[in-house]
């Protein structure tokens, strides 16, 4: 490992925002570790082309597997400088008609996994006396929408985690922030009809949905030294839809 190279761990890096984040960190000369339940073409291609890249097939609902992955990252790279809690599943449906299993699995994947990863990675950061955690929240955590109560609850919890953990870790120079994206090209948006997307764009002051790189750039900013005095914040990137 070259001296001075930083290490970023990104959960849910097989596609979408996670894949864009991985590419961005690698381009900034970070070593990057990621986990996902599936090995996509992006993962295979990155493993072939980038030496400082580690991927493992891990189910985020399995705490022991998550802890094992963090241990492996620590053993291979020696430190963890950045954690991005990006992995999440989007479940839609009216709460009164949802199955208990769907509720539990969403909480495990979206919230419990983030807590487990934050605990494990923060132990490395505490030994280092530095580090950065970025939680990927959502505008659904800030404004109510029918049909996404469970998803919204998990994202609102991440924002609460951000504020409290920033207090806990700040004295050791570890920053914790959230990014709350609005609607951008993702699995959730891909399931929408053209009319739904157009309605969202009309309600958005900038009159469009975000590009995935516009979300990733904000995460990269918060992980950089340019944001060295920003902690405990939720940065909303939604084109003004919640203003």
Q: Is position 160 within any domain?
A: yes
Q: Where are the alpha helices (DSSP H) in the chain?
A: 16-27, 41-49, 63-77, 100-107, 113-128, 149-169, 187-190, 194-203, 212-223
Q: Per residue of the chain (243 residues), what is the pLDDT tens digit?
A: 566 799 999 999 999 999 999 999 999 999 999 999 999 999 999 999 999 999 999 999 999 999 999 999 999 999 999 999 999 998 889 999 999 999 999 999 999 999 999 999 999 999 999 999 999 999 999 988 889 999 999 999 999 999 999 999 999 999 999 999 998 877 667 777 888 888 989 999 999 999 999 999 999 999 999 999 999 999 999 999 998
Domain annotation covers residue 195? yes
For residue 165, being part of any structural domain is answered with yes
Do the domain assignments include residue 164?
Answer: yes
Domain region containing 75: 7-228
Phi–psi pair at 233, nearest 5 degrees:
-110, 150
What angle separates helix 41-49 from helix 16-27, to the nearest 10 degrees?
Answer: 10
Q: Is residue 242 part of a domain?
A: no
Catalytic residue among 151, 176, 178, 179: 151
Residue 1 included in any domain: no
Residue 90 lies in a domain: yes
Number of domains in the chain: 1
CA distances 106 to 87, 90, 138, 146, 222, Å, are: 11, 8, 15, 17, 26
Residue 36 sits in a domain of what CATH number?
3.40.50.720
Confirm whether 151 is a catalytic residue: yes
Does 97 reside within a domain? yes
How many CA atoms does the CB half-sphere of 197 hold within 13 Å?
A: 13
Count CB neighbours of 82 within 10 A.
25
């Amino acid at each position: 490992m070259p001296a001075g190279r930083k290490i970023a761990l990104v959960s849910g890096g097989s596609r979408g925002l996670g894949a864009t984040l991985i590419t961005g960190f690698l381009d900034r000369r970070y070593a990057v570790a990621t986990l996902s339940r599936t090995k996509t073409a992006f993962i295979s291609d990155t493993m072939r082309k980038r030496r400082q890249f580690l991927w493992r097939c891990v189910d985020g609902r399995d705490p022991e597997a998550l802890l094992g992955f963090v241990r492996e990252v620590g053993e291979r790279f020696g430190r963890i400088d950045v954690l991005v809690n990006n992995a999440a599943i989007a479940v839609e449906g009216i709460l009164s008609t949802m199955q208990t299993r769907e509720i539990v699995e969403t909480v495990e994947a979206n919230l419990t996994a983030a807590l487990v990863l934050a605990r494990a990675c923060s132990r490395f950061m505490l030994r280092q006396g530095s580090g950065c955690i970025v939680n990927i929240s959502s505008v659904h955590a800030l404004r109510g929408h029918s049909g996404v109560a469970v998803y919204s609850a998990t994202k609102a919890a991440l924002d609460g985690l951000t504020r409290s953990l920033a207090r806990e870790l700040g004295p050791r120079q570890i920053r914790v922030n959230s990014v709350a994206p609005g609607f951008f090209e993702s699995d959730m948006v891909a399931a929408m009809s053209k009319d739904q997307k157009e309605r969202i764009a009309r309600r958005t002051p900038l009159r469009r949905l975000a590009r995935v790189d516009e979300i990733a750039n904000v995460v990269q900013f918060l992980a950089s030294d340019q944001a060295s005095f920003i902690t405990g914040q939720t940065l909303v990137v939604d084109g003004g839809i919640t203003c």
